[in-house]
Amino acid sequence: MLIRSLIFTTLFFLTTLVLSLTVVLLAPFSFTARLQIGVVWAHVNLWLLKHICGLAYVVEGAEHIPAENGIALLKHSSTFETVVLFLLFPLPCIVLKRELMWIPFLGWALALIKPIAINRRAHRSAVRQVVHTGRSRLAEGLWVVIFPEGTRMPAGKTRRYGISGALLANETGRPVTPVAHNAGDFWPRRGLRKHPGVIRVVVGPPIQTRGMEPTAINEAAKRWIDHTMVDISEAHRGDLIAGKNEPNIVKNRR
Cβ contact 48:8 at 8 Å: yes
C-alpha distances in Å from residue 230, one per residue of 26, 156, 182, 244: 43, 8, 10, 19
Q: What is the pLDDT of residues 5-18, one digit of tens each?
A: 999 999 999 999 99
Q: Domains of the chain: which residue ranges? A: 2-250
Q: What percent of the chain has pLDDT over 90?
A: 87
pTM of the model: 0.91
Label each residue of 137-189 as H, E or C.
HHHCCCEEEECCCCCCCCCCCCCCCCCHHHHHHHHHCCCEEEEEECHHHCCCC
Confidence of residue 46 (pLDDT cuts 50, 70, 90): very high
Cβ contact 123:162 at 8 Å: no
Which of 118-127, 177-186, 231-240 is least confident? 231-240
**Is a pLDDT exceeding 80 seen at residue 2?**
yes
Indicate left, alpha or beta for 243 from its phi (over 0: left) and psi (-120 to 50: alpha).
left
Q: What is the pLDDT of residues 53-100, one digit of tens each?
A: 999 999 999 999 999 999 999 999 999 999 999 999 999 999 999 999
Q: What is the pLDDT of residues 126-185, one digit of tens each?
A: 999 999 999 999 999 999 999 999 999 998 899 999 999 999 999 999 999 999 999 999
What is the predicted pLDDT for the residue at 246?
A: 53
**Is a pLDDT exceeding 60 seen at residue 248?**
no
Mean pLDDT of 195-220: 97
Cβ contact 177:64 at 8 Å: yes
Q: Under DSSP, is residue 117 helix (H, G, I), strand (E, B) or coil?
A: strand
Which class in CATH covers the domain with range 2-250? alpha beta
- Quote the mean pLDDT of the chain: 93
